[in-house]
Amino acid sequence: MRAASVESADEYVAILSELGLNKTQARVYLTLAKAKNLSAKEIAEISKVARPDVYRALYQLEKIGLAETLLGEPMYFEAVPIDECFSTLLLERTKKTAELKEKAQKLTQNFKKNLQDKEVDEEFQFMLIPRKVAVYSKVRRMIEAAQERVCLLALMRRTLTWFSEYSYLVEEALARKVEFRVIIQKPKKDLWKPLKSLGKYPNFYLRLSPRAPQTAFSVWDRKELLMSTSLTDTASSAAILWSNNKGIVNLCQDYFEYLWRKAEKIDL
């Protein structure tokens, strides 16, 4: 029974510490909360905390409303009930969390603004992204940043995998009126049927090409390009080339528009 009570006290100290008190404050509070009122000397003797530290902890507990001084000779101290203590600490923690969230949001906005305010590098940029995790991260950011239109000239199996992996992000983009236009090779079977669920969005379009594409790429808001380095139509992703080279982006966009006019319309 004695060991259980020590364990229980340690557990209370741990919880109070997580809620913002230090261990000395927690021990002093618990000692005081178990009695109606105590002097600083009695608190020190029971809690095994040095008397100067007891006075310091009492001052801090009074400051946050968890203890009160009873005037007299000697002075006695009284703790608020444990439920009121937890409520006070939880409320304070909630306020601090809200303040931290607000500060984090401001810092994030300032950080992004500083990046946007930098002069755009006029040199053409290219980046090879070889690993699946890095590819996923890059595509995720591009879907989230898309504003007007995404055009995909794609391979069948890889397209189905692509839309499966990014389904919720694509639907979020479609919901905010980003247009998706997709060209895939006309399959012998209706393999493209999984894409049919996206037909509920009036800004999702699918067309079928009679021949296999000679390249696979996507153009994003006519500003960025992702191009596959492999034309092997498997479900697994391949390394991709990213570029914001205006000449190449425009060339791929114009080529897509040419194929789009020739491709077979599909009513989803």
Beta-carbon contacts of 220 under 8 Å, excluding residues fewer than 6 positions away, are: 142, 145, 146, 150, 226
Beta-carbon contacts of 53 under 8 Å, excluding residues fewer than 6 positions away, are: 24
**What does the mean pLDDT of the chain come to?**
84
CA 81 from chain center: how many Å? Answer: 38
**φ/ψ of residue 183, rounded to 5:** -115, 125
- Given pLDDT bands bounded at 50, 70 and 90, which one contains residue 8? low
Residue range(s) defining the domain that contains residue 36: 2-85
In a domain, 102, yes or no: no
In a domain, 112, yes or no: no
- What's the mean pLDDT in 214-224? 91
- What's the mean pLDDT in 7-14? 78
On whether both 75 and 174 belong to a single domain, the answer is no
Radius of gyration of the chain (CA): 32
The CATH number of whichever domain residue 35 belongs to comes to: 1.10.10.10
On whether both 261 and 130 belong to a single domain, the answer is yes
On whether both 259 and 171 belong to a single domain, the answer is yes
On whether both 158 and 246 belong to a single domain, the answer is yes
On whether both 49 and 145 belong to a single domain, the answer is no
* Predicted local confidence at residue 2, as pLDDT: 38
Among 70, 93, 89, smallest CA distance to 12 is for 89
On whether both 140 and 254 belong to a single domain, the answer is yes
Write the DSSP symbol of residue 181.
E
On whether both 65 and 145 belong to a single domain, the answer is no
In a domain, 113, yes or no: no
* Predicted local confidence at residue 23, as pLDDT: 92
In a domain, 91, yes or no: no
In a domain, 187, yes or no: yes
Of 29, 64, 85, which marks where a domain is finished?
85
Of 85, 110, 134, which marks where a domain is finished?
85
Matching residue, tokens 């305010």: 117
Helix (H, G, I), strand (E, B) or coil at 176: coil
Domain count, the chain: 2
Separation CA 256–CA 245 (nearest Å): 16
* Predicted local confidence at residue 6, as pLDDT: 43
Residue 112 CA: distances (Å) to CA of 101, 107, 146: 16, 9, 16
- Per-residue pLDDT reduced to its tens digit, 71-98: 777 788 998 898 899 988 998 888 888 8
On whether both 68 and 140 belong to a single domain, the answer is no
Q: Is the peptide bond before 74 cis (omega within 30 degrees of 0)?
A: yes
Q: Which two tokens stand for residue 5?
A: 């009570």
Residue 185 CA: distances (Å) to CA of 143, 198, 215, 230: 23, 18, 12, 16
Q: Which two tokens stand for residue 169?
A: 């992000």
On whether both 249 and 134 belong to a single domain, the answer is yes
Separation CA 174–CA 199 (nearest Å): 11
Of 85, 117, 152, which marks where a domain is finished?
85
* Predicted local confidence at residue 4, as pLDDT: 38
- Per-residue pLDDT reduced to its tens digit, 106-150: 888 878 776 665 544 445 588 888 767 788 888 889 999 999 999
